[in-house]
């Protein structure tokens, strides 16, 4: 029997994503001036207030307030009427130094066999539903949010948009797990109070609210979604846009109060949005604010790198890779592979996992080197997903009252490269 599957995304102005971006902007600032910095930075935000917490071990000093304010303003929280803006919000720092007990397990005197920064399991996933080997539900949800943010920042149409927004895409799948059509698209976006009631009555307020929702619904269907579709290059994804898609736009009605004033934000609360939208698996560890000695982040990227290259090589149409580590130990304690019965090689999933261990060096320091994870590359990951993104080299400029301004070439999303396909094909006789 056919079934429905849904994934959600959130905008860069969602309070949890504001927290993620502040944490990763601070991590990048540390790494720009000290590539060996160790960070585990958490951020909390609410009405008019940001609290930065966590542990840092670095030889450099970073102006936390300046970086946090710049990040908030770049997101779009620049007006006092939002009751949270980068220029006036209070910022409290509760950063302290990393525990020596944790550090001794990581810095064990053998650089190549640097221990994992914590125990835990990390998952990577890839499938053939989209050109970037991501679940189509999440890929579309992210695209809707990125496009809505582009429209907001251009300021030419939908000029009532505010930074906070969410999307959700539901797709119908066939019995053999193939996407058939888009069933429902949900878009909830914060907006200005752009239609005022005729008088002070409750009825007049309800009428004004309905007119706003009707206008936003119309603009989502007639402005936002055509721009979303225009960016899709895959014919099989475009084919999912059949007649009868149900659009739920701001289904609760007015959404003026939003962002950190409407709901508190905290680093690491959108881990499913960050990864695979509910497909595959998740070990529970968040990414943002953590340097690559924390396998929560680096091994999650490595497992995605493995899964994507394996699907691209033709080993399977869909694959899940789990890595597990013990704190202070370099080699993973387990490597698990699940091909969901969609494998194209004459090997069991256990045998595929053994081959993965031979093909990929999964010690934390080796992952760092392979994926170049000591670069200041993380702010770009902190909104619209860490996986399925474009691998590219960009110039980033960092300034500080304590250091000279620094411009560096940074390679983003290195775990999305398909540079192991030929090697994998050879190993599996494909």
Binding positions for K(+): 42
Phi and psi at residue 393, to the nearest 5°: -105, 130
Task: List, as residue ranges, the binding site for L-methionine.
Answer: 55, 98, 263, 294
**Biggest alpha carbon distance in the chain?**
75
Residue 50: which H helix or E strand, with range?
strand 49-57
Residue of 425, 426, 387 lying closest to 130 (CA atoms): 387
Task: List, as residue ranges, the binding site.
Answer: 14, 16, 42, 55, 98, 164-166, 254-255, 263, 269-270, 286, 290, 294
Strand-pairing partners, residue 337, are: 321
What does the alpha-carbon distance between residue 230 and residue 223 come to, in Å, rounded to a whole number? 11
Phi and psi at residue 273, to the nearest 5°: -60, -40
Rounded to whole angstroms, what are the CA distances from 127 to 85, 121, 134, 340? 40, 20, 6, 11
- Taking the alpha carbons of 209, 215, 219, 220 in that order, is the dihedral positive or negative? positive
Contact between 7 and 142 (Cβ < 8 Å)? no
- Taking the alpha carbons of 135, 259, 12, 271 in that order, is the dihedral positive or negative? negative
390: tokens are 């474009």
Contact between 266 and 51 (Cβ < 8 Å)? no
Long-range contacts of 347-351 (CB under 8 A, 24+ apart): 347/428
Contact between 270 and 130 (Cβ < 8 Å)? no
Task: List, as residue ranges, the binding site for ATP.
Answer: 14, 164-166, 254-255, 263, 269-270, 286, 290
DSSP result, 185-221: EEEEEEE---S--SSSSHHHHHHHHHHHHHHHHHHII
Question: Nearest 5°: CA angle at 209, between 208 and 215?
Answer: 90
Question: Nearest 5°: CA angle at 411, between 16 and 315?
Answer: 85
Helix %, strand %, coil % of the chain (to 5): 35, 25, 40
- The CA-to-CA distance between both ends of the chain, in Å, stands at 33
Task: List, as residue ranges, the binding site for Mg(2+).
Answer: 16
What does the alpha-carbon distance between residue 275 and residue 270 come to, in Å, rounded to a whole number? 9
Q: What is the CA radius of gyration of the chain?
A: 23
180: tokens are 């058939």
């Amino acid at each position: 029997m056919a079934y429905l599957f849904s994934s959600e995304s959130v905008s860069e102005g969602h309070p949890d994503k504001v927290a993620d971006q502040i944490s990763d902007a601070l991590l990048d600032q540390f790494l720009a001036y000290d590539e060996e910095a160790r960070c585990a930075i958490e951020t909390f935000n609410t009405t008019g207030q940001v609290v930065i917490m966590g542990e840092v071990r670095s030889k450099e000093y970073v102006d936390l307030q300046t970086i946090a304010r710049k990040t908030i303003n770049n997101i779009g929280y620049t007006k006092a009427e939002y009751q949270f803006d980068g220029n006036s919000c209070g910022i409290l720092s509760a950063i302290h130094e990393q525990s020596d007990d944790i550090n001794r397990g990581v810095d064990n005197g053998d650089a190549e066999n640097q221990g994992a920064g914590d125990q835990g399991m990390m998952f990577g996933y890839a499938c053939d539903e989209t050109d970037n080997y991501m679940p189509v539900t999440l890929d579309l949800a992210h695209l809707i949010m990125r496009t809505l943010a582009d429209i907001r920042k251009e300021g030419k149409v939908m000029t009532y948009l505010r930074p906070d927004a969410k999307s959700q895409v539901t797709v119908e799948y066939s019995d053999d797990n193939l996407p058939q059509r888009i069933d429902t698209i949900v878009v909830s976006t914060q907006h200005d109070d752009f239609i005022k009631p005729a008088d002070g009555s409750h009825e007049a307020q309800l009428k004004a609210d309905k007119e706003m929702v009707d206008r936003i619904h119309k603009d989502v269907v007639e402005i936002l979604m055509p721009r979303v579709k225009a960016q899709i290059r895959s014919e099989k994804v475009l084919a999912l846009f059949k007649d009868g898609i149900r659009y739920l736009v701001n289904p609760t009605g007015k959404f003026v109060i939003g962002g950190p004033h409407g709901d508190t934000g905290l680093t690491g609360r959108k881990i499913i949005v960050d990864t695979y939208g509910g497909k595959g698996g998740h070990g529970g560890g968040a990414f943002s604010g953590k340097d690559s000695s924390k396998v929560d982040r680096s091994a999650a990227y490595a497992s995605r790198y493995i899964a994507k290259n394996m699907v691209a090589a033709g080993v399977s149409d869909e694959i899940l890779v789990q890595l597990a580590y013990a704190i202070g130990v370099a080699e993973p304690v387990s490597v698990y592979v699940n091909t969901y019965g969609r494998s194209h090689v004459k090997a069991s999933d256990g045998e595929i996992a053994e081959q993965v261990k031979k093909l990929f060096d999964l010690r934390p320091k080796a992952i760092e080197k392979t994926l170049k994870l000591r670069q200041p590359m993380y702010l770009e990951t902190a909104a619209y997903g860490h996986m399925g993104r474009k691998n590219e080299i960009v110039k980033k400029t960092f300034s500080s009252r304590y250091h000279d301004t620094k411009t560096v070439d940074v390679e983003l999303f290195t775990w999305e490269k398909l540079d192991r396909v030929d090697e994998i094909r050879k190993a599996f006789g494909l």
